[in-house]
Amino acid sequence: MYTQTPRFIGSFLLALSMFGAALAQTPGSGAPALPDRNNRQGWQACHAMGADAAAQLACFKNWAQSQLPEGAPSPAMATAPANTQTGQAATEVLLLPALATEAPDGKKVGCRNTKYSELSRFWELQRGSDCDTFGLRGYHPTSVLWAGSDGVNNQPSSPAPGHTVTTPFNYKRAETRLQLSVRTKLAKGLLASGSDDDAGSDSLWVAYTQQSYWQLFNGPVSRPFRTTDHEPELVYIYPHQIDLPGGWKYRLSGLGLNHQSNGQSLPLSRSWNRVYLMGAAEKELGGDASLGLQARVWQRLRESSGADDNPGISDYVGRAELAGQWHINSVHSLGLTLRHSLKSQARGSARLEWMKASTAIADSAALRYHVQLFSGYGDSLIDYNRRRNVLSIGLSLVDW
């Protein structure tokens, strides 16, 4: 799919040169000798023969033939109709190759090839599930959701000096939650690569997630954005194929660097940096069904007391996360994410979510109905030390 593009562009440029030469064709002295196959600059010699259009055209044809692999057939040629007014002879025209957009059998390829598992496609763990570098992918769901909670934080506070709102806001409990999340692969095959399609391939990714709470239904205060969190990440993924008991396979290990902030000035400023380790396993259940588990543990990077917007954030948001995913089929999926502070005072959070794809788009599994229930701390940075229960319902874009 991807290796066709350079050949297509080369053929296109070659055809343009030949077409221009054909329009100016005059009697010439014949074709030059076939250029040497190893001479990659042969086209320049042909270009210099502009004074003899017929010889130049023949030179270009011979050069194109010399670039084909040994034993390969010549490019398909067609004959244009003769000009009935001038009586000029018909001209041979090079037919351009078609640009392949899918595998010959019609199946999706690379990170859309269902031959490979969910985790392999998502993180492109194998050579055959690779979709190359610098293409945009989905990361967390990109969502538009209605959100209703048991309480809204009208007076955000933090133990850091100057970080407590003195005049309460007049926010409503019902609002709109917007999330944008994208990523791209920066590099691949750094430490693990192979020629076989099933061979593992490591990768380096950069991701960005933005989540906003918008007081869309609060006309009296001009429908403001209550808070917006920005979360860039750098993630390295190393592939595995380790068999575990019960039919599970350990598929990847990862290392990440994460920054999260809300971009606000005092007293609303909140931010932290952390480094995390991750691992993931999966189990195929047959058909489109599968189970997935991903674990992360992180360490907050130290900040000076004067620069710390949110002291003790790890005691609330947590220090570890376990996420489970059940792909029931190509339409339905269930997910559960648990976070824990790893201390005796067990704060953290739980997030339960269900997604359903329309049967009309089940093959792409892109746009889904999304229902989510969150309970705990850290639903947003401004609420890092406030417990909330939030029900969200709407649409999400995943796996694109």
Q: Taking all residues of the chain, what is their mean pLDDT, rounded to a whole number?
A: 83
Q: What is the pLDDT of residue 29?
A: 43
Tokens of 65: 């033939």
pLDDT cut 90: percent of the chain above it: 64
Say if residue 293's pLDDT is above 80.
yes
**Residue 28 confidence (pLDDT):** 42
| pTM score of the predicted model | 0.73
Please compute the mean of the pLDDT values over residues 337-361 and round it to a whole number: 90
Task: State the pLDDT at residue 46.
Answer: 76
Reply yes or no: is the peptide bond before residue 267 cis, omega within 30 of 0.
Answer: yes
Select the more confidently predicted residue: 217 or 193: 217
pLDDT grade for 261, boundaries at 50, 70 and 90:
very high
Mean pLDDT for 126-137 is: 93
pLDDT at 364 (0 to 100): 54
Mean pLDDT within 177-198? 94
Q: What is the pLDDT of residue 74?
A: 54
Q: Which of 138-142, 265-269, 318-322, 328-332 has the lowest mean pLDDT?
A: 328-332
Mean pLDDT of 12-38: 46
If one compares 212 and 37, the residue with the highest pLDDT of the two is: 212
Dump pLDDT digits (tens) for 234-248. 999 999 999 999 999
Ranking 39-48, 250-259, 289-298, 329-338 by mean pLDDT, the lowest is 39-48
Q: Is the predicted pLDDT of residue 17 greater than 90, yes or no?
A: no
State whether the Cα torsion 65-70-72-73 is positive or negative.
positive
Q: Which of 24-28, 106-110, 210-214, 364-368 has the highest mean pLDDT?
A: 210-214
Is the C-alpha dihedral spanning 294, 357, 204, 270 positive or negative?
Answer: negative
Q: Give me the mean pLDDT over the 138-163 stretch.
A: 96
The three-class DSSP label of residue 28 is: coil
pLDDT at 95: 45
Decide: 175 and 243 in contact? Cβ < 8 Å.
Answer: no
Q: Could you tell me which of 341, 361, 339, 340 has the C-alpha nearest to residue 352?
A: 339
pLDDT for the residue 345:
87
**Is the pLDDT assigned to residue 301 strictly greater than 50?**
yes
Whether the per-residue pLDDT at 362 is higher than 60: the answer is no
- Kindly report, residue by residue over 49-108, the tens digit of the pLDDT: 767 777 878 887 787 777 676 655 555 444 445 555 555 555 454 444 433 335 545 556
In degrees and rounded to multiples of 5, residue 13 shows phi and psi of -65, -40
Position with higher pLDDT, 274 vs 47: 274
Instruction: Give the model confidence (pLDDT) of 310-320 as tens digits.
Output: 999 999 999 99
pLDDT-derived band at 208, boundaries 50, 70, 90? very high
Tokens of 324: 């489970």
Q: Which residues neighbour 34 within 8 Å (Cβ) at sequence distance 6 or greater? A: 62, 65, 66
pLDDT for residue 358: 76
> With 60 as the cut, is the pLDDT of residue 355 above it?
yes
Instruction: Determine the distance from the C-alpha atom of residue 142 to the mean position of all C-alpha atoms in its chain, rounded to a whole number.
Output: 12
pLDDT at position 96, please? 41
Which range is most confident: 19-33, 72-86, 103-117? 103-117
Closest C-alpha among 90, 96, 86 to residue 64: 96
Answer whether residue 21 shows pLDDT above 50: no
The radius of gyration of the chain from alpha carbons, rounded to an integer in Å, stands at: 30
Instruction: Provide φ and ψ at 187, rounded to 5°.
Output: -155, 160
The pLDDT, as a whole number, for residue 69 is 64
The mean per-residue pLDDT over the stretch 389-394 comes to 98
Class of domain 110-397: mainly beta
The pLDDT of residue 43: 64
- Domain range list for the chain: 4-94, 110-397
Contacts of 96 (CB under 8 A, 6+ apart): 8, 11, 12, 15
Residue 333 has pLDDT above 90, yes or no: yes
